[in-house]
């Protein structure tokens, strides 16, 4: 129980460029995992951010895949998942949210709540995941903090309660008052190291000397207003996901990050029960259960190895112990399970509920697989969405067709994109949620697998999986739509509709056929 209680597993989510990766970097600095913080885009600081380890991430300054990192902090074991903000990789982020117990949402102080943040909040609401909001970039001119709070309440449909408050902003930004611990922390901005904080009594004259009379008076009025308007902070409503605590700061300059981390480890929930199809699994059960929520190809380019990320739901995971792979009904032992610091990994002997374990994968895992000590359980809720963009993938270098096939297979295992084979002409079609995916696939095939591909345009509206109890009607449908039928990697039938009209006609003509838009049914 001690091990379970000290675990904190959470995801950092937001719109692109709000500062997720920078915040992760500062957390690692406090956790002592790194001595100097790297930057996502900076000419002076040569070290790149730890969680953006892929070549393409370093070049473009965006996160392409979820990184898993863990560190110890004041007796707690913290597991961070830094997710991509870009909507083209939203599916990766949605899956990550199934494996965490809470989330931190980063909001840009100048831009407020943006489109992608709203979408991610919907997923948190569906799963009742508790969230903490961090308003970033207070060292730049932005919106008034009270206006921001109103906007967050309205846009994310959740009550808010500030637990820290900024003293001015932009050029005149002086620091943050910590409401949760009731004292003031003044910092000197430093991007790479942590500076010590000064404690000041808020009602004493010392405050005026430190921040100036005007700012001191404004702070006192603001705090009175906050106490008057917002109900006192209640841990219960936060854990039930009806209230979101709000922190202000600047991740790049290390302002307000420590307050966030200190408060987070105290109030965030330890691992929670996980619903399976058969029953709900509680973390304190004796027997081990876990599920695979992500697969990464080529973490180490020298070995071409795939790693499956397994979230431990209950019991204790032990190295070399026999576990049942439920879908294949096979017993497997893992001789080198690993824990991660982005790309650097170290072998572990045991893991507890809430931990994320990397298991070497030679093609036996799919996203959503369950591992148990013999019980037949299925954890559901890891969606694969219907792609919205399609292209034919063709081999650009005939000498490298083996490498291309291997590369496509491993990258499709990651679940970033989906592969369909057209039954009419046997050509391979890649479907993704966004345009950026195609560039990433092409880049990774060339740099990691030494294979070149080229894309050919294909205009389709949607891919839908079809099934029916009426065999005759299914056959008739397949005959009539012969040119638009394809198989996915599991060999299931997929209908590639080329327009909304065609899809609606098909649905009304063939009443006994069910059309599904996620691959999970």
Question: So what's the pLDDT on residue 92?
Answer: 66
How many Cα atoms within 13 Å fall on the side-chain side of residue 106?
28
Domain with 67 in it: what CATH number?
A: 3.40.50.300
Q: Are residues 332 and 397 both part of a single domain?
A: no
Question: So what's the pLDDT on residue 345?
Answer: 63
391 backbone dihedrals φ, ψ, rounded to 5°: -145, 150
Q: Are residues 258 and 193 both part of a single domain?
A: yes
Which residues, 6+ apart, have CB-to-CB distance to 307 below 8 Å?
Answer: 295, 296, 299, 338, 345, 358, 359, 360, 361
Question: So what's the pLDDT on residue 188?
Answer: 61
279 C-beta neighbours (distance < 10 Å), count: 10
Residue whose C-alpha is closest to residue 91's, from 57, 70, 116, 61: 116
Give the residue from 232, 267, 302 where a domain finishes.
Answer: 267
Q: Are residues 126 and 76 both part of a single domain?
A: yes
Q: Are residues 411 and 484 both part of a single domain?
A: yes
Per-residue pLDDT of 238-293, as tens digits, reads 888 888 888 888 877 777 788 888 888 888 888 888 877 888 888 888 888 888 88
Question: So what's the pLDDT on residue 187?
Answer: 59
Q: Are residues 293 and 328 both part of a single domain?
A: yes
Question: So what's the pLDDT on residue 59?
Answer: 52
- Asked whether the beta carbons of 405 and 439 are under 8 A apart, the reply is no
Q: Are residues 129 and 161 both part of a single domain?
A: yes
Q: Are residues 96 and 180 both part of a single domain?
A: yes
Q: Are residues 150 and 261 both part of a single domain?
A: yes
With respect to residue 343, please indicate whether it lies within any of the assigned structural domains: yes
Q: Are residues 198 and 125 both part of a single domain?
A: yes
Range of the domain at 501: 389-516
CA 362 distance to own-chain centroid:
24
- Domain count of the chain? 3
Question: So what's the pLDDT on residue 387?
Answer: 75
Cα–Cα distance measured from residue 437 to residue 387, given in angstroms and rounded to the nearest whole number: 11
Q: Are residues 400 and 332 both part of a single domain?
A: no
With respect to residue 384, please indicate whether it lies within any of the assigned structural domains: no
Q: Are residues 148 and 218 both part of a single domain?
A: yes
> Which residues of the chain register pLDDT less than 50?
35-48, 50-53, 56, 58, 60-61, 63-64, 342-343, 521
Cα–Cα distance measured from residue 463 to residue 384, given in angstroms and rounded to the nearest whole number: 12
Beta strands 485-487 and 513-516: pairing type?
unpaired
Q: Are residues 353 and 458 both part of a single domain?
A: no
With respect to residue 94, please indicate whether it lies within any of the assigned structural domains: yes
């Amino acid at each position: 129980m001690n091990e379970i209680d000290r675990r904190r597993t959470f995801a950092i989510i937001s719109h692109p460029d709000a500062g997720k990766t920078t915040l992760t970097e500062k957390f690692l600095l406090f956790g002592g995992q790194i001595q100097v913080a790297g930057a996502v885009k900076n000419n002076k600081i040569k070290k790149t951010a730890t969680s953006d380890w892929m070549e393409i991430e370093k070049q473009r300054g965006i996160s392409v895949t979820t990184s898993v990192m863990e560190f110890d902090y004041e007796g707690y074991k913290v597991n961070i998942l830094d997710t991509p903000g870009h909507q083209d990789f939203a599916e990766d982020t949605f899956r990550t949210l199934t494996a965490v117990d809470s989330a931190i949402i980063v909001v840009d102080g100048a831009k407020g709540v943006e489109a992608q943040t709203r979408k991610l909040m919907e997923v948190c609401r569906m799963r009742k995941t508790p969230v903490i909001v961090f308003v970033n970039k207070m060292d730049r001119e932005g919106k008034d903090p009270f206006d921001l709070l109103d906007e967050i309440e309205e846009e994310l449909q959740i009550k808010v309660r500030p637990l820290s408050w900024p003293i001015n902003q932009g050029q005149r930004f002086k620091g943050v008052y910590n409401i949760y611990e009731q004292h003031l922390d003044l910092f000197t901005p430093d991007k790479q190291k942590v500076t010590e904080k000064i404690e000041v009594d808020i009602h004493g004259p010392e405050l005026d000397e430190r921040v100036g009379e005007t700012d001191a008076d404004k702070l006192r009025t603001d705090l009175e207003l906050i106490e008057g308007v917002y109900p006192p902070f209640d841990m219960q409503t936060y854990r039930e996901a009806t209230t979101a605590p709000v922190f202000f700061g600047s991740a790049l300059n290390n302002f307000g990050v420590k307050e966030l981390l200190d408060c987070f480890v105290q109030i965030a929930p330890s691992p929670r029960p996980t619903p399976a199809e058969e029953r709900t699994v509680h973390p304190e059960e004796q027997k081990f259960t876990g599920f695979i929520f992500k697969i990464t190809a080529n973490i180490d380019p020298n070995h071409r190895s795939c790693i499956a990320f397994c979230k431990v739901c209950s019991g204790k995971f032990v190295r070399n112990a026999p576990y049942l792979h439920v879908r294949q009904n096979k017993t497997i032992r893992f001789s080198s399970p690993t824990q991660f610091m982005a790309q650097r990994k170290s072998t572990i002997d045991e893991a507890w509920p809430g931990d994320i374990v990397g298991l070497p994968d030679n093609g036996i895992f799919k996203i959503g697989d369950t591992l148990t000590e013999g019980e037949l359980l299925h954890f559901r809720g890891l969606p694969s969405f219907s792609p919205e963009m399609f292209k034919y993938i063709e081999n650009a270098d005939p000498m490298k067709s083996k490498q291309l096939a291997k590369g496509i297979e491993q990258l499709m295992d990651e679940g970033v994109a989906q592969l369909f084979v057209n039954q009419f002409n046997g050509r391979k079609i890649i479907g993704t949620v966004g345009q950026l995916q195609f560039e990433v696939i092409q880049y990774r095939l060339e740099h990691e697998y030494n294979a070149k591909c080229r894309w050919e345009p294909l205009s389709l509206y949607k891919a839908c999986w079809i099934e029916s109890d009426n065999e005759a009607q299914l056959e008739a449908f397949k005959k009539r739509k012969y040119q638009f039928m394809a198989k996915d990697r599991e060999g299931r039938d997929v209908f590639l509709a080329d327009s909304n009209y065609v899809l609606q006609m098909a649905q009304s003509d063939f009443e006994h056929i069910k059309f599904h838009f996620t691959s999970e049914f």
